[in-house]
Amino acid sequence: MNLDIEFDRVSIRYGDVEAVKDMSFRLDGGKIYGLLGRNGAGKTSLLSVLASFREPSSGTVKVGGEQPFENAKIMREVSFLYDIDYKDESDKVKAAIETVAGYRPRFDTEYALRLARNFNLPLDKPLKELSKGMQSAFNVTIGLASRSPVTILDEVYLGMDAPTREIFYRELLEDQERHPRTFILSTHLVSEMDYLFEEVIIIHKGRFVLQDDYESLTSRGVSITGPAQKVDEFTPGLKVLNVQQLGSTKSAIVYGELSEESKHAARRAGLELGPISLQDLFIHITGEEQGT
């Protein structure tokens, strides 16, 4: 079951503050999306609307062509995992898994228990006694084993150590292979998680910035390095995201595909062309000192 998601001119206001401004984009079902934005960009607000935790102040959200808010049919198919506070949760891990299994129509309990073992989660320990990283591993376990057609993982790795995060990424990819659904991963760890994303959405200060598939996005970013004068001669007309200069050598990060002709011209001028990472692109797109 693949559910397409559509945000149409969605705004979310908290009193006088507009956290999300007039955002429109569409996510086709069955892919892993990376939602990138700096702190306060509006990621969690946007995701809470999708999970029916709140209504948008204006605009509409549709999941599988239907409004999700208070729609039982859609709400049970959308899982939203975030940094959940378990300080009062005395249920043991195994009991908590079995409880959720009763709520989510596609939940795979065996898979959940296997994941819990992989994450070294103690099944007989109350959730409130787990460490931060273990609680995050529990959230990931629930998120993956629910097999919800729309699964939102909002910074779910908090407190996880590097090996545990690696298990999370591997399990995510493997289970997506077996049971394709829509994952939306909101993260700050761009460089570590970028290989998971099929498509990337970048938002900044409550506004939609861009949506593109990972390959095209990174292939559209090019770093041009060489003598400052040559770089300056080459870049007019291109969308320059960032420029750095060290002595007489300048490096410009350009967003937009270069034609074969331009690439030849650059090389003839002694300029070096290189790829840029999603993280670089993200930093430059959402950085305060953007180029022009």
Partner 1 sequence: MKQPTSAASRIMMEMFWHQGSWAIGYLVIVFLLNLALGITGSSSNIGQDDFFSIIYRSTKGFMLVIGIISSFGFLSFYVRHGFTRRDFFKGAALAALLLSIAFPLVVGPVSLLLSAMNFSDTGNSPVLQAFEHNWFLALASFGIQIFVYYLMGWMIGSGFYRHDWIRGLGFIAIAIVLVGFMDALWQFELASLWDRWMPAFTLDVPLYASLAGSAVIMVLGLVLIRLLTRKVTIKLR
Which spans of this chain sit near partner 1 (rule: CB under 8 A)?
Answer: 44, 48, 52-55, 69-72, 75-80, 82-85, 88, 100, 102-107, 148
- Least distance in angstroms from the C-beta of 75 to partner 1: 5
- Calpha distance 148→248 (Å, rounded): 54
Q: Which amino acid belongs to residue 162?
A: A
Q: Which is nearer to partner 1, 50 or 266 (CB)?
A: 50
Q: What is the closest distance, in whole angstroms, from the C-beta atom of residue 42 to partner 1 in the complex?
A: 14
**What 8-state DSSP symbol labels residue 66?**
B
Nearer to partner 1, 78 or 160 (CB): 78
Q: Do β-strands 17-27 and 239-246 pair in parallel, antiparallel, or remain unpaired? A: unpaired
Q: How far is the CB of 85 from partner 1 (least distance, A)?
A: 4
Sign of the alpha-carbon torsion through 48, 52, 58, 64:
positive
Query: Is the CB of residue 82 less than 8 Å from the CB of residue 51?
Result: no
Q: Which is closer to partner 1, CB of 96 or CB of 116?
A: 96
C-alpha 104: how far from chain center: 23
> Closer CB to partner 1, residue 53 or residue 195?
53
**Min dist. Cβ of residue 5 to partner 1 (A):** 16
**Nearer to partner 1 (CB atom), residue 151 or residue 218:** 151
Q: Min. distance of Cβ 207 from partner 1 in angstroms?
A: 22
